Amino acid sequence: MTGPVSGRVSFCVTCKNRLWQLRETLPENLARVEADGNAEIVLLNYNSGDGLDAWVRTYRKFVDRGLLRYLHERSEPHFHMSKAKNLAHFGATGEFLVNLDADNFIGDTVPLWRAQWARRYDTLIHGFIPETDRGRVGARDGLPAEGNGTSGRIGLPRRHFMAMGGYDEAMLPMSQQDVDLVDRARAYGLDVVRVPQSGRASICNSFEDKLRDTGLTLTWQEMRSRNLQRRRENLALGRLTVNADRSPKEVLLNFTERLTL
């Protein structure tokens, strides 16, 4: 394949009580999507209680133009990373699906990622901030340093994401979901490459921010330990496709249309 791929790119964002971050990231990210010309932001409101729905309505013109695809899950009391990310990805329309946490900026990555998929279509791209990743003790395969806000920047062709069942919903609400997807994708046969991003890429979060809406009393370390065991089991058992018994969820699409994902 020569030249950058032209397929639609969907940036999949989940949000539960992170409006304070979206106020900063979404306007800039919409500008990046608009400049690309064939991309969208898929924003999943995961039953957020901070006025997110009313705020998104002020962006209705972007919804009408197809730049913003808005999904609203209205029943879940607590946040679960894998379940939320899957809803956002399953509700996207693009040929390429990119996870973009609510605290992340797209920056100048779109043409870089398109060029990478042109070189090798069957690739999972793992983005990162190079400055904060430098010199980490115990780095594995150059994965992003924990806590730098970039571990979730993952993009791959839609057909491969769907074939693997997405993020593993059997995991606890936080930690290891992203690297588990990377591990399974590599074992599945995809190339895994890292593409650095210049400039500011994320807003800093505390562990308290991450755990606040999970509904569990487990610490970050406890969740990480249990999910790490699940991640190792997935590889050891050759469980590259997950969520075989997943039940579909209903969301509201663009304020009015009921959609089951």
Amino acid making up residue 202: S
Burial (0-12, 13-18, 19+ Cβ within 10 Å), 247: exposed
Instruction: Kindly list the domain boundaries of the chain, sorted by start residue.
Output: 9-260
Amino acid making up residue 98: V
pLDDT at 207: 66
Q: Which segments of 9-105 are extended strands (E)?
A: 9-15, 39-46, 68-73, 96-99
Q: Encoding tokens for residue 54?
A: 């009313």
Tokens 């730098």, located at residue: 148
Q: Encoding tokens for residue 38?
A: 């064939």
157: β partners: 96
How many other CB atoms are found less than 10 A from the CB of residue 185? 23
CATH number given to 9-260: 3.90.550.10
Averaged pLDDT, groups of 10, the chain, 261 residues long: 79 96 96 97 97 97 98 97 98 98 93 95 84 42 49 92 98 95 97 85 74 89 95 98 97 97 97
pLDDT at 143: 44
How far, in whole angstroms, is CA 234 from its chain's centroid? 20
Total length of the chain = 261
Enter the pTM of the model.
Answer: 0.92
pLDDT at 208: 76
